[in-house]
Amino acid sequence: MLSALSLGATLYMPATRPDLWQVVNGEKYPELRSVVLCLEDAVVEHDVEFAKENLKKLLQHLQQNQRNSQHPQLFIRPRHLEMAEELMQWAEIPLLDGMVLPKFGLSNLNQWHSILSSDLKLMPTLETPDTFDMGAMKELRQALQQQFHPVLVLRIGGNDLLNCLALRRPNDMTLYQTPIGALISNLAGQFLPYGFSLSAPVCEHFSQVKLLQDELYLDIQHGLSGKTIIHPAQIPIVHQAFQVNEIELKQAQDILNQDAQAVFACHGSMLEPATHKHWAERILERAKVFGLKI
């Protein structure tokens, strides 16, 4: 069963690329777990028609050729609602695993709901000014719970949110050292306790490996699942970050042991199954998906 965590590093790439088949077939980046073919920000206006034609050709190729067993989950990101409605008329759309919903919010939730197939896994993106309004986010959460197709994961659009503040993240700071850090904490509190998953925003400074590693540590401590990436070199770094170490695994197993005491010590830490159960379950899921740190 597909989970938010199993998406791992999600590579965004323009739908104009000539190598779409090699990527979605798992040939070019064998470690890649999920890919989003973008028709929005990654495509300039005069290339939109070409991007749609290129995507159509890919889907037709998919219809005629079976993909490798180890292929990434395939999503598309339409430019806007109108484009999504157009794409939903394509006979090949069921070949997709899901769709990213750009600029998602209360103002367009009903419109998205009316045009989408319940078979698609949905990844709405929180990237508009009302994302900073926790009252609006509470209303959005309640609306999603009541009247929307099941959401695979809510994606946090870090750069769009910084753009709302007329900011850009420097190449020597994690996102958590900007105003978006506080926002991520608030979004975690607003959505995670209610069964939703959040994915981590992109680190666009792909040559800054240490910066990405530091940011991933904080992503994980904020309960985020996977991370948007824009360069294939980031794939192994993301997946390694979500691996667990032997001590974490041992503690998680001890916490979930049906014979565990109410409170006990393990590797110098106090463990309490009543309050650490969900953490332990998460550790076991990470270990199953990403394995142990070497």
pLDDT digits over 191-232, tens only?
999 999 999 999 999 999 999 999 999 999 999 999 999 999
pLDDT digits over 222-275, tens only?
999 999 999 999 999 999 999 999 999 999 999 999 888 898 888 888 989 999
**Residue 157 in tokens:** 């659009």
Question: In angstroms, rounded to a whole number, what is the distance separating the alpha carbons of residues 110 and 113?
Answer: 5
- Residue 294, pLDDT score: 80
In degrees rounded to 5, what are phi and psi of residue 66? Answer: -75, 135
Structural domains in the chain?
5-242 (3.20.20.60), 243-294 (no CATH)
Nearest Cα to Cα of residue 279 among 254, 259, 252? 252
The DSSP result for 173-191, as a single string, is S-GGGSHHHHHHHHHHHHH
- Residue 70, pLDDT score: 85
pLDDT digits over 155-199, tens only?
999 999 999 999 999 999 999 999 999 999 999 999 999 999 999
